[in-house]
Structure 1
Amino acid sequence: MGIFNNKINISELYPKGLVDIHSHLLPGIDDGAKTIEDSIGLVKRMQKQGINNFRITPHVLGGVWENSSELIKEKEAELKAALIENGFHDVNIHASAEYMLDDNFSQLLENDDLLPLKDKYILVEMSFFNPPFNLDDLLFQIQVKGYIPVLAHPERYNYYHDNIAQYEKLIEAGCLFQLNLLSLTEQYGKPTTKTAYTLLKKGMYTFVGTDTHHKRHIHLIKEIATKKNKKLLTPLFENNIETFSF
């Protein structure tokens, strides 16, 4: 059997009830959807692929996207109202955030001004150039505050690509890993894809997300719909459902 015989429909890849825990669907708030029309279009496309549940995560990044919790919740209300107005009555959304581990985050953490994915799970990310100099202390402080850090797309941090031990150290420090489905496509380059499959096969991921910003991402994700990937990804899909269902 060749690779073409291994292909399945994207709707067959996703189990019923899947919750996407990483996306940028709120309008005009970061580098994701620009307008409410963009937001609705993205939700419509994702729903056609089999996803009805979204924990949306706009960037919170000091000096770039300093989105307050209040603004995020305002945008959430705007999107919810627009979805109902347009007949999307079976779509569930909850606005959280993707927090850059920077000085701005440290202040938000100190003030308990964070929007969890659900319960005490918070989605965090690091710079693509280098990890925070105080990473260990940040992870410790997150957990002292009672939160559980979910590290977004660890496969994209190329400074760790040649050192799996660093990934193991992060898990030992209390991080849960979230795989980007886009990392299994050409989106971020071959080294990222290779690292993603390495971590996946080693069982180092707990959760998964699309990290959808625009319609090209949704189109790209269709490429990963294979029987092989379904076997690898199903445990993560099930974790998402068990932990983040509405």
Structure 2
Amino acid sequence: MALTCETMFRYLFTPRHTTSSLFPDGMDMHTHILWGVDDGASSLQESLGIIRRLKSFGLRGAYCTPHIKACYPENTPDFLRRRFEQLLASVTNEQFELKLAAEYMLDDRFEEQINRYAPLTYDGTHLLVE
């Protein structure tokens, strides 16, 4: 079944039983929860607010997928892992599973990033690209 943007957003803002049909494992696969690293959350408080909102939609967890691209040169896997650890330390009472991956831009730094650092993948194999 093909979903239009309108239909998809209507599903995101409905009760848990409908939301769970879009996310059968209860995990959001693409979020910009990590604060201060890209165009996503700008503070830890905003990150925690996003987590609470995702929980209110019936999700049990999310992958943090910050951008790794030329306009964010500081976003190396090592830096992002440290920021992710800070987030994990702050959500101990949230009962929300967080995992780290990344959204790689297919730009002039893509090959360098993949060759220089162990990529942040979903499962050791699958890479999110833009």
TM-score tier, shorter chain, comes to 0.7 to 0.9
Contact 2:77/2:117 (8 A) holds in 1? no
TM-score by length of 2: 0.81
TM-score by length of 1: 0.44
Alignment of 1:147-186 (within 5 A): none
Matched pairs, number: 115
* 2:65 corresponds to which of 57, 60, 71: 57
Q: Which amino acid aligns with 1:71?
A: F
* CA–CA separation in structure 2 for the residues paired with 1:45 and 1:35: 15
- Greater RCO structure (CA 8 Å; 6+ sep): 1
SS across alignment from 1:78: helix
* 1:100 corresponds to which of 78, 84, 105: 105
Structure 1 residue 58, shift from structure 2 partner: 0.4
Structure 1 residue 17, shift from structure 2 partner: 3.5
* CA–CA separation in structure 1 for the residues paired with 2:128 and 2:57: 24
Q: Looking at CA atoms only, which structure, 1 or 2, has the larger radius of gyration?
A: 1
Unaligned runs of 5+ in 1: 1-6, 126-246
SS across alignment from 1:118: coil
Q: Which has the higher helix share?
A: 1
Structure 1 residue 14, shift from structure 2 partner: 2.2
Alignment of 1:25-104 (within 5 A): 25-62=33-70, 64-66=71-73, 67-84=75-92, 87-88=93-94, 90-104=95-109
Unaligned runs of 5+ in 2: 1-9
Q: Are residues 1:19 and 2:27 paired? A: yes
Question: What RMSD, in angstroms, separates the aligned Cα atoms of the two structures?
Answer: 1.7
Deviation track 1:207-245 (CA, whole Å, cap 9, x = no partner) reads xxxxxxxxxxxxxxxxxxxxxxxxxxxxxxxxxxxxxxx
